[in-house]
Homo-oligomer: A and B are copies of this chain.
Amino acid sequence: MEQLRFDGRVAVVTGAGGGLGKAYALLLASRGAKVVVNDLGSARDGVGKSNFADAVVKEIRDKGGEAVADYNSVVEGEKLIKTALDNYGRVDILINNAGILRDKSFQKLSEQDWDLIQAVHLKGAYKTTQAAWETFKKQNFGRVIMTSSNAGLMGNFGQSNYSAAKMGLVGLASTLAIEGAKYNIKVNTIVPTAASRLTEDILPPDMFQAMKPELIAPVVAYMVHESFEDSGIIIDSTLGFAHKAHIVRAPGVPLRNKPSDPVTIESVKEKWSDVTNMKNAKRIDKIAEVTMDLVQNLQDFEERSKLDSEHPSYWSTFSYNSKDLVCYALGVGSSVVNPSDLRFLYESHEDFSALPTFFILPGMSMESPVVADSMPPGKHADFTNILHGEQYLEIVNEFPGTEGEFKTRTYVVDVLDKASGAIAIVNSEIFQDRQLVLRTQQHIFIVGQGGFNGPRDSKNAVPVQPVPKRAPDAVVEQRTAEDQAALYRLSGDLNPLHIDPNVATASGHPKPILHGLGSLGFAVRHVLAKYAGNEPSNVKAIKARFAKPVLPGQTLVTEIWLEGKRAHFQTKVKESNNVVIAGAYVDLKNVVKEGNATAGQAQTQSSAGALKSDSLFAKIQDGIKANPDKAKSVGAVYLYNITSNGKTVKKWTLDLKSSLSVYEGEPKNGKADTTLTVSDDDMMDIAAGTLGPQVAYLKGKLKISGNIMLAQKLGPLLKSDAKL
């Protein structure tokens, strides 16, 4: 790397007679800066006199550098800045480093101890910085360092005065970073730990010796260089290490159950573990973000409260990625033996997709207490007395992508009295980016909990439909594997009934049984292949009743009747001829009969606004213009599919063969030699060098089809020309 220089820059370093300040002054001077070496000339406690600054100036000059001594107090900061202006005509860099200690336990701390520390650390930095501010603004350049301390960031016994001043500097830096932004004034905070009384007793002697100011000075020097772009950040550094620090905030919770409730001391206490739960804490950079966050929280709270007033709801989240989809697909009998299944098993397949029944899972929150809570007095439901009776799924609009996160609202819409038991009708509404994308409904049968004079039926229940009374239009037979349930369990339902022979026997089964949803996954795959061209996005809704259990290894026979756009089906076990899935149907958007050519209906391409990677392709374009020969030597056409939530939202063509150009959309001439599919975020990480392309590929984050070898040629081009 070229040396980072400070030629022509004028730096003021306060407290530069020794220690850290001296190290800063020497380093900046050695790199061409003219340095004002400020030192009050007193000892650590602010008392006494000395001429340390002269010695530092001499050392700088002896090495051929430029420097001048300044003996003013930082509380009269304007005098320090005047020294810079008088001697060098400008000031570019200010390192507020001067400081003293007056450690006392809080009770013994005198008002003078308090005032002196505030004056030197906080007011001194304020005064000196303010004195330089107009110059910084006029010249559209300024670099300011505030010096804080871990005693400020975390508190330290006997340093109440010092912690207050040191944390005050962090607050001052934050506001000055904001005010300086449009004038290229960067204000940052260093938290240095050099050998000092503070650390002498705590550290091993070797380490204490090793805490040299020279190990911190390059960090501060980089932070005041003209190439430094961060502002308002905190950097903790010592011993040749550095760490950024910042404040994060918990997501926060409403302190009451609904907006019409009062907030009371008791309701606060009740919610306290949520208030202080830092698990999903995040950085909030600007005060405006706090406000936006607040508006969003409040809207969510009001909306959810309104929903809750209709039916007590439970909210949960569900995340999935391509690995989850492949695992699920294997769990419901997709196999590489059928080439048409490969799109469900291979994350880099050009038509890689979820199976539609996968989207039943985000509605299956295990934590939800809604069924137990909805039981009539004297009746109870827990996982030992419930059975999954029926299942409904509706794809509300577009078919979801191959990765994403959902928020699910689950609630009981009715509890039916079926004498022998109760049935809870459990609805889930599943949102992505605040849009309703899926609905599910489960009928949960609660054994032995009927007879409470409840309703027998519900208009809210989506009913099963009897299959037509004629021979089926299609029949699909598939044997389940002996390990089918063991494999399906990896998709999240760990009920031991499906793996533990003892539990299975206790429940009256000869061996662990398949998951009902596992069998349903098989059956819907059969319908998909026969009447939907194996294209999941053709599915609109699914309904089924679980009539009897299936044992792993048994053969499923799915009988299908097509009536308009509805494919009725039922599934039997071949060995027993029992109907195991009854009254079921799939509603289709398009009927595509097996063998008809246009099976792979392209998924709707969502329209996308500006993406982060747009700038990257602009840079690649620049790179090609700057170096057309290098670009031409690649000799291939690349198509990038940029995805968001697992869906392609923008396409870019890199034509490095004929037209040497980069443009949005598919190749205008001919076909791409290599197609790369990658999310907007991952694309940025690859360009920034934080995600290696090879790693991205091997982890399935970068999908490559067509000529894989040609992708290798792209690497160097991307790396050297497009690094952000």
Please, which residue of chain B has its CB at the minimum distance from the CB of A704? B496
Chain B residues in 8 Å Cβ range of A250: 243-245
- The reply to whether the CB of A422 lies closer than 8 angstroms to some CB of chain B is no
- The reply to whether the CB of A384 lies closer than 8 angstroms to some CB of chain B is yes
> CB distance A298 to B137 under 8 Å?
no
- The reply to whether the CB of A389 lies closer than 8 angstroms to some CB of chain B is no
- The reply to whether the CB of A456 lies closer than 8 angstroms to some CB of chain B is no
CB distance from A508 to the nearest CB of B (A): 15
> CB distance A179 to B105 under 8 Å?
yes
Chain B residues in 8 Å Cβ range of A699: 366, 494
Contact digits for A351-384, partner B, Cβ 8 Å, 1 yes 0 no: 0000000000000001100000000000000111
- The reply to whether the CB of A664 lies closer than 8 angstroms to some CB of chain B is no
> CB distance A276 to B233 under 8 Å?
yes
Distance in angstroms between the alpha carbons of A160 and B146 in the assembled complex:
13
Contact digits for A154-173, partner B, Cβ 8 Å, 1 yes 0 no: 11111111011111111111
A 674-714 contacts with B by CB, 8 A: 688-690, 692, 694-695, 698-700, 708-709, 712
Q: Looking at the complex, which of A479-487, A560-568, A576-584 is the stretch in contact with chain B?
A: A479-487
Please, which residue of chain B has its CB at the minimum distance from the CB of A284? B154
**Cβ-neighbour of A164 out of B122, B158, B278 (below 8 A):** B122
> CB distance B155 to A232 under 8 Å?
yes
A 209-246 contacts with B by CB, 8 A: 210, 214-215, 218-219, 221-222, 225, 227, 230, 232-233, 235-246
**Cβ-neighbour of A174 out of B155, B272, B500 (below 8 A):** B155
> CB distance B267 to A218 under 8 Å?
yes
- Interface size of A in residues (CB-CB distance below 8 Å): 170
- The reply to whether the CB of A31 lies closer than 8 angstroms to some CB of chain B is yes
- The reply to whether the CB of A288 lies closer than 8 angstroms to some CB of chain B is yes
- The reply to whether the CB of A286 lies closer than 8 angstroms to some CB of chain B is yes
CB distance from A316 to the nearest CB of B (A): 11
Distance in angstroms between the alpha carbons of A387 and B380 in the assembled complex:
59
- The reply to whether the CB of A59 lies closer than 8 angstroms to some CB of chain B is no
- The reply to whether the CB of A51 lies closer than 8 angstroms to some CB of chain B is no
Distance in angstroms between the alpha carbons of A222 and B272 in the assembled complex:
10
> CB distance B285 to A154 under 8 Å?
yes
**Cβ-neighbour of A165 out of B127, B171, B690, B700 (below 8 A):** B171
> CB distance B163 to A222 under 8 Å?
no
CB distance from A173 to the nearest CB of B (A): 8
Chain B residues in 8 Å Cβ range of A173: 155
Contact digits for A281-302, partner B, Cβ 8 Å, 1 yes 0 no: 1011111101100110110010
- The reply to whether the CB of A447 lies closer than 8 angstroms to some CB of chain B is no
> CB distance B330 to A297 under 8 Å?
no
Please, which residue of chain B has its CB at the minimum distance from the CB of A346? B499
Chain B residues in 8 Å Cβ range of A163: 171-172, 174-175
- The reply to whether the CB of A270 lies closer than 8 angstroms to some CB of chain B is yes
Known contacts: A123-B118, A150-B290, A490-B323. The answer to whether A106 contacts B176 by CB under 8 A is yes
Distance in angstroms between the alpha carbons of A134 and B290 in the assembled complex:
38
> CB distance B176 to A160 under 8 Å?
yes
CB distance from A27 to the nearest CB of B (A): 8
Chain B residues in 8 Å Cβ range of A284: 154
Known contacts: A107-B134, A250-B243, A692-B367. The answer to whether A275 contacts B172 by CB under 8 A is no
> CB distance B294 to A283 under 8 Å?
no
> CB distance A276 to B366 under 8 Å?
no
**Cβ-neighbour of A287 out of B151, B330, B384, B694 (below 8 A):** B151
Distance in angstroms between the alpha carbons of A312 and B47 in the assembled complex:
52
Q: A155-B287, A158-B179, A193-B294 are in contact. List 9 more A-B contacts (CB 8 A).
A: A118-B123, A154-B284, A156-B287, A167-B171, A203-B294, A219-B263, A239-B294, A243-B249, A278-B283
14 contacts between A and B (CB under 8 A): A1-B269, A3-B266, A126-B164, A151-B175, A151-B287, A153-B174, A155-B174, A160-B175, A240-B259, A242-B275, A244-B275, A245-B281, A336-B483, A503-B708
